[in-house]
Amino acid sequence: MIIFKDNLKLGLVLGLIAPLGGLLLFKWYKFGIFTFKEFFQFIFLEPGFKTLSAGLSISLLLNALLFTLYINSRKDNTAKGIFITTAVYGLIILLIKTFA
């Protein structure tokens, strides 16, 4: 299966997709009564982007889980890709929290 490959590109793709899934779980848990449109309007129009940065920070936990699974299964290249995207997401979150 493709998910068990040791590939940097696979790690980059998984690292990009997992936080989006985490953000959807955050929406479902905290903002379940809102539609997706209302949820995204709120997080992008809120002054200071506090909910956006909190949701993205929590969504990175899925990357940490994936990273741990791939490190423990000795798929180091895939784990490297997940780590790279996690670092980029973390930098973006830091910039949002600092300058917004």
Q: Is the pLDDT of residue 21 over 70?
A: yes
pTM: 0.84
Supply the DSSP symbol for 41: H
pLDDT tens profile 37-77: 999 898 888 887 888 888 888 888 899 999 999 999 999 99
- Identify the band that residue 1 occupies on the pLDDT scale cut at 50, 70 and 90: low
How far is the C-alpha of 82 from the C-alpha of 70, rounded, in Å?
9
Domain ranges of the chain: 2-99
Residue 32 DSSP SS3: coil
